Amino acid sequence: MEGIRFFNILRKHRYTLAIVPVLVMITAFFLTRKLPDVFVSKASLAAGIVKASSQTSILDGTPLQDSKVSQEFGNMIQLMQMKKTYDQVSYMLMLHDLKDKTPFRKPSKLMGYLNDDARRHAIAVYSDLYTKRQPLSLWDADQKGLNELIVSMGYDYEALSKKMKVYRIENSDFITVEYESESPVLSAFVVNTLCTEFIAYHNFISKETEVNTVHLLNELMTKKRDSLGSGLDSLRNFKINNHLLNLKEQAGALTTQIAEFETKIQMAQKDVDAANTALDKLNAKFTSEDKGVADEKLATINKTVLSITDQINRSQEDLIRTNDRRYQFRIDSLKSVRDRMIYTSGENFTANPATAKENLVNQRITLELNRDLAQGSIASMQRELTKLKKRFDTLVPKEAIINSYEGNINLASQEYVEIQKKYNQAQMAFNTGKEVKQIEVAMPGAKQPSKKMLLVLVAGIGSFVICLLVLFVLFYLDNSIQFVTELANKTNLRVLGTLPFIQHSSLLNLNQLWATDNNSLTDKIFRDQLRSVRYETELCMEGHHLLAVTSLADGEGKTFMAMCLASAYTMVNKKVLLIDGNFTDNRISQLTNPQYFIEDFLNNKANIPYPTQHTDITIIGNKGMDISLFEINTEQVIVQKLQQLKDAFDIIIVEASSLNTMNKAKEWITVSDKVTAPFEANKTIKGNEKPLVGYLQSLNSKFIGWVMNKQSDKSHAESTKRSFLSRKTEAE
């Protein structure tokens, strides 16, 4: 349904859809016929990024990632498209057109105003700014005027960048530069100049950055090398001043000596304890008299033995202190002398002539000498152990200081190695870094295929699409009701049928309409539609007699519909009464000049009218006074009077006023058996009419349905599908 409506709109505006694109295409043709021809020049640059990536991978084993390479190309393309680069091209173009006798473009009006002095001044300023790579200052009135001169010639940044294309060829190392203009020589000049200026500027900033990087890394490397050397010198001086050759080895040797002395002291203490135990056992075997005699007799021998023992102890101390093997030989010799003296004294000594105790005496002397010797060695070893521990204690803080020195030296060494590596990379990048080169010089290009016809065609298609879009928007925003299905769906009320649109309904002759010899196509269509409405109305009346005809608003055809429906009922031999109940607009009364009036009948001032012939329509008019039905008489009297009319007539059709008159229409609806209403086709149900539709819905079966009035012939085919009309609402 919506598609049919939209198609009808397109068919209605078919001439607009044809004429507008044609006019637009003609206009586009005249506008584009003077467009200049286009010439394109192209150049290629080798970026050198891939080569630099391979060199970087050789140096540190990690090639540049694809994202990093893409970023490098992106930065390079953006640098080429900077205004600073385009300014250099603008200066060169202006200098060419100011100096050369054959400029690239026809001088603009502003350039035509320049005299010789002004031209020389412009050349001087452009040349100076070109050399210094500086832009024009718009704060300066003079330079602002020179900028306007560039704009007038179309050599400014916006004009050049609009026709310039700079892009990378897929994943290659090459960048393509394209420019189009009305002159092949101009296109080639702009491309080559842009490439030259970009290469010069890129190499300048790249080398400047690399030189600064190399100098900075060299300074850092020198500082780190000096710091490393200073740390080594401090460590060396500390070792010299503290007589340290190898602290770890010295500490290890002292630890070993301390452990050995502690072991020897433990062994000597065991010997002393064993000797004391043995002496206690031997002394138990001597009497007090024997002990005194033996001690007295051996005093002289002990002095000599003790002297030798003292020499042995001193030699042991010297051996411990110097670790000289000669002292060991002396110790062994003295021990031999001491042992011989003890043995000789034992042979020549008899403690008691009556008792022979030589062996016991010898054992006692030997044990005492060994004990004294062990005690002497313990004392000397204790003194030496104390000295060793003091020496070891002095090494602990020195070791901490040396570790601090060595930690600083290791850190400085690592930093120096890292900076040296970066310095080597920067040095290599500076010597063999990426260098942009122009590998393909732009040449004057051939004329490009004309786009004039394409523009004309696009203009025509675009205008056609815009027209379609406008019509679609109008269609989308159009809420008017054109078909019976739309009326039924939007109101949820049945539709009895349709009545076609008649240009001048006042000229319609109802008697002539039903004449058997009337062959008018218009009358035939109207007659068929009216019969359909009569049939559907008769079905919905269900034996009742009084039918009220109202509408949502004035002008929808209540009067016309009531009169036509009344004439249709006369054709089926019905006794028909037509009442003009529209007190607001008594059009029926004005047209027919009736004999009877509803005010007189309801007030018992007139008798009940009776039909004279079945082919005639009995009409009761009203006097056009500003009253309502219930103001004429009470509702009970009115119902009784209407019942009399029902008994006399087969069908009574009352034209009530429209529902926007409020109670005037509702009073007639209250006393009527059924209600119907015409609805004007192509009309929208307004916001204030929606409550009126709700009122009709509240009547339920009393409202028998709509009659779509004034429907155009184009929708006639749709309106004749009567199978939907009275069935849809019942099914719902």
One domain, residues 468 and 510: no
Is the model more confident about 161 or about 334?
Answer: 161
Mark which of 459, 478, 497 sits at the end of a domain.
478
What does DSSP assign to residue 557? Answer: S
Q: What is the mean pLDDT of residues 373-395?
A: 73
Number of domains in the chain: 3
Residue 394 sits at the vertex; the CA angle it makes with 391 and 397, to the nearest 5 degrees, is 150
Mark which of 349, 377, 392 sits at the end of a domain.
392
Q: What is the mean pLDDT of residues 410-420?
A: 80
Is the model more confident about 677 or about 67?
Answer: 677
pLDDT of 54 > 60? The answer is no
Query: Which H helix or E strand runs over 151?
Result: helix 141-153
374 is in which domain, residue-wise?
250-392
pLDDT-derived band at 721, boundaries 50, 70, 90: very low
Task: List, for residues 8-23, the tens digit of each pLDDT value.
Answer: 778 888 888 889 989 9
One domain, residues 471 and 493: no
Task: List, for residues 641-673, the tens digit of each pLDDT value.
Answer: 999 999 999 999 999 999 988 889 999 999 999
One domain, residues 598 and 544: yes
Buried/exposed code over 688-709 (b: 16+ C-beta within 10 A; e: otherwise): ebeebbeebeeeeeebbbbbbb
pLDDT-derived band at 607, boundaries 50, 70, 90: confident
Q: What is the mean pLDDT of residues 110-139?
A: 90
pLDDT-derived band at 62, boundaries 50, 70, 90: low
Q: Is 314 exposed, middle or buried (0-12, 13-18, 19+ CB in 10 A)?
A: middle
One domain, residues 465 and 524: no
Per-residue confidence (pLDDT) for residue 361, from 0 to 100? 66
One domain, residues 461 and 513: no
Share of the chain above pLDDT 90, in %: 27
One domain, residues 474 and 527: no
One domain, residues 650 and 504: yes
Q: How far is CA 726 from the centre of its chain?
A: 57
One domain, residues 322 and 376: yes
Does some domain include residue 166? no
Q: What is the mean pLDDT of residues 141-167?
A: 91
Does some domain include residue 327? yes
Instruction: Pick the most confident of 362-366, 511-515, 716-720.
Output: 511-515
Task: List, for residues 451-462, the tens digit of each pLDDT value.
Answer: 778 888 898 899
Buried/exposed code over 545-578 (b: 16+ C-beta within 10 A; e: otherwise): bbbbbbbbbeebbbbbbbbbbbbbbbbeebbbbb
One domain, residues 671 and 632: yes
* Cα separation values, 626 from 63, 534, 582, 599, 630, Å: 101, 32, 10, 12, 12
Does some domain include residue 688? yes
Q: What are 386's two structure tokens?
A: 């104390």
Per-residue confidence (pLDDT) for residue 90, from 0 to 100? 92
Q: What is the mean pLDDT of residues 59-84?
A: 75
Task: List, for residues 274-288, the tens digit of each pLDDT value.
Answer: 878 877 777 776 666
Q: CA 123 to CA 139: how far, in whole Å?
A: 20
One domain, residues 279 and 263: yes
Q: CA 280 to CA 272: how far, in whole Å?
A: 12
Is the model more confident about 44 or about 48?
Answer: 44
Task: List, for residues 530-549, the tens digit of each pLDDT value.
Answer: 999 999 999 999 999 999 99
Q: Is 102 exposed, middle or buried (0-12, 13-18, 19+ CB in 10 A)?
A: exposed
CATH code of the domain in which 581 resides: 3.40.50.300
Q: Are 532 and 716 in contact (CB under 8 A)?
A: no
Does some domain include residue 77? no
One domain, residues 501 and 466: no
What is the pTM (predicted TM-score) of this model?
0.47
Q: What is the mean pLDDT of residues 186-198?
A: 91
Mark which of 433, 459, 478 sits at the end of a domain.
478
One domain, residues 335 and 456: no
Bridge partners of residue 674, in order along the sequence = 547
